Amino acid sequence: MGNLSGKSCLEKLACLIPGYGGYLERERRRDVDKLHRENLAQQLEKIKTPLTSLVRELSDTSRLLEVKHVERVNSKLDKIANRIRYASYGYSGFFDTVKINELELDRLYQFDLALTESLEAIKEKVSSLIENASNVDMKNATTALERMLDELDAHFSERNKVIENIL
């Protein structure tokens, strides 16, 4: 089995028990995917806080017709966050596969990076909306924001297709 001195218990187990290293790798992929999805969902939910304050501000300044546009964005944020967090994945085989082609894994990582970058762009759009709330056409601004959220949602769907195609 070679020299095991200097290795951690986990590394020793991986060397001594056939398949154990693959099991750990599968569990890591599963955990990382869950952490990534949970982080995305939490970030989407955090965006709601300033938008909820904006709803209050619009109500207080008698801009009641504009409230519905912001509330529609908040509703979409909830829907997408829940979809990402609680996605019913039919691709458990993806995580159970010991050998995943590096190109396929890289493609998945590209989707994850794009999702994160899209989220940052959405945050910037919300910040701009909040800063310029008194001078902005709320309907147009929230429509643009909804379009960005729809793109994020579609990108998440494409990520799922990539995973399904790997199987």
Residue 123 lies in a domain: yes
pLDDT exceeds cutoff 50 at 98: no
Provide the pLDDT for residue 10.
54
Residue 1 lies in a domain: no
Residue 91 lies in a domain: yes
Instruction: Supply φ then ψ for residue 17, to 5 degrees.
Output: -105, 115
Residue 83 lies in a domain: yes
- Which of the four pLDDT bands, split at 50, 70 and 90, describes residue 35? confident
Provide the pLDDT for residue 5.
66
Q: Does residue 18 come out as left (phi exceeding 0), alpha (psi in the -120 to 50 range) or beta?
A: beta
Residue 52 lies in a domain: yes
| Predicted TM-score of the model (pTM) | 0.77
- Cα-trace Rg, the chain: 22
Q: What is the pLDDT of residues 124-136, one digit of tens each?
A: 999 999 999 999 9
Residue 2 lies in a domain: no
pLDDT exceeds cutoff 50 at 90: no
Residue 4 lies in a domain: no
Query: Can you give the residue range of the structural domain that contains 145?
Result: 9-166
Cα distances from 6 to residues 10, 17, 24, 126, 159, in angstroms, run: 12, 18, 20, 51, 40
Strand, coil or helix: what is 129?
Answer: helix
Residue 3 lies in a domain: no
Q: Report the domain count for the chain.
A: 1
